[in-house]
Structure 1
Amino acid sequence: MRFRHRAAAGFATLLLPLAGLVGLASPAQAATAATATYTKASDWGTGFEGRWTVKNTGTTSLSSWTVEWDFPSGTSVTSAWDADVTSSGTHWTAKNKSWNGTLAPGASVSFGFNGAGSGSPANCKLNGGSCDGTTVPGDAAPSAPGTPTASDVTNTSAKLTWSAATDDKGVKNYDVLRDGSKVATVTTTSYTDSGLTAGTSYSYTVQARDTADQTGPASGAVAVRTTGGTTDPPPTGDKVKLGYFTEWGVYGRNYHVKNLVSSGSAAKITHINYAFGNVKNGQCVVDDTYAAYDKAYTADQSVSGTADTWDQPLRGNFNQLRQLKAKYPHIKVLYSFGGWTYSGGFAQAAANPTAFAKSCKAVVEDPRWADVFDGIDIDWEYPNACGLTCDTSGAAAFKNLMSALRTEFGSSYLVTAAITADGSSGGKIDAADYGGASAYADWYNVMTYDYFGAFNAQGPTAPHSPLTSYSGIPQAGFNSADAIAKLKAKGVPSAKLLLGIGFYGRGWTGVTQAAPGGTATGAAPGTYEAGIEDYKILKTSCPATGTIAGTAYAYCGNNWWSYDTPATIAGKMTWAKNQGLGGAFFWEFSGDTSNGELVSAINSGLS
């Protein structure tokens, strides 16, 4: 769909207060030789700027680094950048960030800090050895422990047992993590977690620490649900109620997984599509790793009410989704790859579908978050047709890709796709074998929106998500009913089709008539992009003045907008049920009101 633009986040070097210095530390593993040197970059009397440089002087890569030193009493670090800096009394420790821990032979990295006092560092250690490179230890971090098993589960406790990790110097202890946060450190391979809430789901992992205080990778996760208690009931009915959660929404939109809880939406949906993973070199990859699994959340920002720590193995959106699933066990999460911006990578993926599918499963089943995702969704815009770029893979390419995904993921995972809703003769639905590919899909998200908008700057004004055709529609076949009918005629079962709803409007400016079909001079102003605005804004800034083809439009000043309201969504959900569709989906959560009124309309309409 045209609306799915990714807001790229650029990160410069950040100067943060010490309380905010959090980063996903990689397991420490020293190179054969490395040095850490200190310089005082500036001094302003009451304080100074210090800088450490770590250099790999050996012949093998350094996968992570930790610099330790002592300051005399009265000297301290007040803020730091490019490292996670903590202290215990006068002893200070700096660990690499998730993005600057790896150093090839000969490479170096620097981090800095502002300090108070006048002292200089002493007793420097690099990865537990000398900072001069003569005695840097060469031992590796411990292996991952076995995935825990749960037993003796009660209303308030559960016993966890796991197989031991291995390490060349010996394992000292294990950290037990509940929903990504450390709850205990033990020296044995079992732990009983108590003080839990009845009738609640939790996710546990374990990671080992060796005698050099190097932390290894986390084990696989085990889901545990305590007995008793009551939970919010899942949505009623057997229809899919799916919403897209955008990875980049945590930035400018300030929309986080916890918003699904505070709005009441989590109790009214069945599935979430996490958007978007990228498709590069014919393979699935995580796009924004910081937002996905590194961004730290404070207790008040997190679903669980527990703050992230710098050394937990998973943070960011993935950990928040894990916490959401623990609170709402009925929700399934799919990792969606592609979208408008990243669909160019599917052409190379289609050349080797098997390799593509294997790469996708490797991402979905990464042991750090394997319990988070229940399936995969691909959003190819568009197979054998044009979107941001044009594809010439052929009519069979989409079917081949879906077949490979189903073969690789098997029947235990959901495999879905967001597809075109172009119902015109010879249009995008006719360009690929959507009927044949449906045999491998659990369902299709039919993108029945973005039909018309200010990408045609002069108009004519028209609703961007018409349910049916109408007299004067600018393009035949550009409506939900025609798209659904065409897909059914190609052999796609009704129950595998979800109707799409946009939680936003499209609009023009320079319009002189309230009725559809008017001319315009360009795109109406929007908060994030001209011609587009969230429903939560439009419902008060430009209230609906009429309806056409099952959706609403609004005329205010010289601006003309079209968007869905709770009332038009109710009508569309009735139509979807009458058509025997599998349910509905929407793009995307952050466009809704703070109390989730559009999600409520979908839930009520399909129940």
Structure 2
Amino acid sequence: MTPAGAAEPGRPFLAYHASWYEVQTSVAADTSLARLPGYFTHIVLSFVKPDLTYAGDLDLKGTGLLYPFPGTVLKEAVALLKARQPHIKVLISVGGWGYFAWDKLDAPAVARLVRDLGADGVDVDYETPDGQCAPQGETMSCPGDPMSISVVEQVRAVLPRPFVVGVAGWSVGAYGAGEFRTAAPRSPWTGVMLALLNSPTAAQLDLVSIMSYDAGPHYRPQEAFRAYRRVWKGPLMLGVQVEPGTSGGPRFTVDYTRRMLDSVTSDPGAGAMLYALRLKPPGDIGPDNPDDRYLAPAICMALNLAKCSAPVP
């Protein structure tokens, strides 16, 4: 029997949970994390440093997570969410912009944190300050290619299946090869995901999300989806951003978000990623300037999931 307020899982719908904006409380049941609706399939606790310091005992101070309460409360909130919505997988996101110390990745510490929190795996958000990717033959070559592959291998070695390992891909990360060899826009990160997704290590992944936003006015998320689909056949999610970008690209209004997702849902493995729960855009909130409470139900309906009227706390 499905618990009250829960939804049976369907298409993948992953949402990042911004730890720095969580409710300040000592009661796990009062956290927004514990009260999330059931149309999500993956909730990602954001962000953990690759070079985290974590010996155990749910001490979060050296992890990079910025929840305004102790790790004991976070662990209980995760347990409450999973009790209410048993199908939701809770991941921790390792990396993100500003956490670049991949050469100091402490995968065993990451695994201890996952297990101690009662989480289900890791989202690898492999980002570098300058991609420096360049054409090489029929594909792209990036200085960080060996490291991106090694990071996934290290994480999977300490978190074997059924733990989940996913990756967040750069907006243009699958451009630069095949029919997308000259796809616009070009950037230093063009093709940054190709080496990983074309390698045998890709078989160790369970899902891929695309940061399909903040890439300029010439970027087309639908085309990026097709480029990623050329090299990745598993669950693939187009990203939706709460806050307005800074590159001149389109605002993710409710209408734009629905139209974007409608363009890819003929693919049975297509889904969505939301960045991020708890973030609020500047200005008056509404369908043309939506926050997570507008966007999450809109994404739910675009993906034809169940119980889309359930509110986001």
TM-score scaled to structure 2, two decimals?
A: 0.72
Q: In the alignment, is the contact (CA less than 8 A) between 1:234 and 1:270 conserved in 2?
A: no
- Residue number in structure 1 paired with 2:157: 407
Alpha-carbon distance between aligned partners in 2 of 1:597 and 1:275, rounded to the nearest angstrom: 21
- In structure 2, the residue matched to 1:246 is 18
Q: Alpha-carbon deviation of 1:282?
A: 9.8
Opposite residue 347 of structure 1, the aligned amino acid is D
Unmatched tracts of structure 1, length 5 or more: 1-198, 200-228, 295-313, 350-355, 453-461, 463-472, 509-515, 517-560
Name the counterpart of 1:450: 214
Q: Distance in 1 between matches of 2:298 and 2:68?
A: 30
Which amino acid in the other structure matches residue 301 of structure 2?
S
Where in structure 2 are the equivalents of 1:328-477 lying within 5 Å? 328-342=85-99, 344-349=100-105, 356-366=106-116, 369=117, 371=118, 373-382=119-128, 385=131, 394-422=144-172, 423=175, 425=182, 427=187, 428-432=189-193, 433-435=195-197, 436=199, 437-452=201-216, 462=217, 473=218
Q: RMSD of the alignment, in Å?
A: 3.4
Measure the CA separation in 2 of the matches of 1:595 and 1:394: 33
**Is 1:598 matched with 2:286?**
no
Going from structure 1 to structure 2, the CA distance change for 1:606 and 1:290 (only over 3 Å counts) comes to closer
Which structure's residues are more often strand, by fraction? Answer: 1
> % of aligned pairs identical?
20
Distance 1:595 1:362 in 2: 30
In the alignment, the residues of structure 1 paired with residue 264 and residue 130 of structure 2 have an alpha-carbon distance, to the nearest angstrom, of: 28
- Tell me which residue corresponds to 2:225: 484
SS in 1 for 2:103: helix
Q: Is the 8 A contact 2:33 2:78 kept in 1?
A: no
2:240 is aligned to 501
Structure number with bigger Rg: 1
Higher RCO (CA-CA < 8 Å; seq separation 6+): 2
Code of the aligned partner of 2:13? K
Structure 2 CA distance for partners of 1:397 and 1:230, relative to 1, 3 Å: closer
* 2:138 paired residue number: none
Counterpart check, 1:287 vs 2:64: yes
> Is there any run of 5+ residues in structure 2 with no aligned partner, and where?
56-61, 134-141, 177-181, 281-289, 305-313
CA distance in 1, matches of 2:253, 2:157: 40
Can you list the C-alpha shifts for 1:200-224, whole angstroms capped at 9, x where unaligned?
A: xxxxxxxxxxxxxxxxxxxxxxxxx
Q: Is the 8 A contact 1:337 1:379 kept in 2?
A: yes
Q: State how many pairs are aligned.
A: 263
Q: When you count helix as a share of all residues, which structure comes out higher?
A: 2
* Distance (Å, rounded) in 1 between the aligned partners of 2:67 and 2:220: 38
What is the rounded CA distance, in whole Å, between the counterparts of 1:274 and 1:394 in structure 2? Answer: 25
Using the size of structure 1 for normalisation, the TM-score is 0.39
Change (3 A) 1:406 1:345: same
> Residues 431 and 605 of structure 1: is their aligned pair in 2 closer, same or farther, counting only changes over 3 Å?
closer
Following the alignment from structure 1 to structure 2, what is the Cα–Cα distance between the partners of residues 269 and 590?
15
Q: How does 1:65-464 map to 2 (within 5 A)?
A: 230-235=3-8, 238-250=10-22, 258-259=31-32, 266-280=37-51, 286-288=63-65, 291=68, 293=70, 314-315=72-73, 317-342=74-99, 344-349=100-105, 356-366=106-116, 369=117, 371=118, 373-382=119-128, 385=131, 394-422=144-172, 423=175, 425=182, 427=187, 428-432=189-193, 433-435=195-197, 436=199, 437-452=201-216, 462=217
Instruction: Measure how far apart 1:596 and its partner are.
Output: 2.3
Cα distance in 2 between the residues matched to 1:290 and 1:239: 29
- In structure 2, give the amino acid aligned to 1:249: Y
- Measure the CA separation in 2 of the matches of 1:421 and 1:595: 21
Partners of 1:270 and 1:239 lie apart in 2 by 8
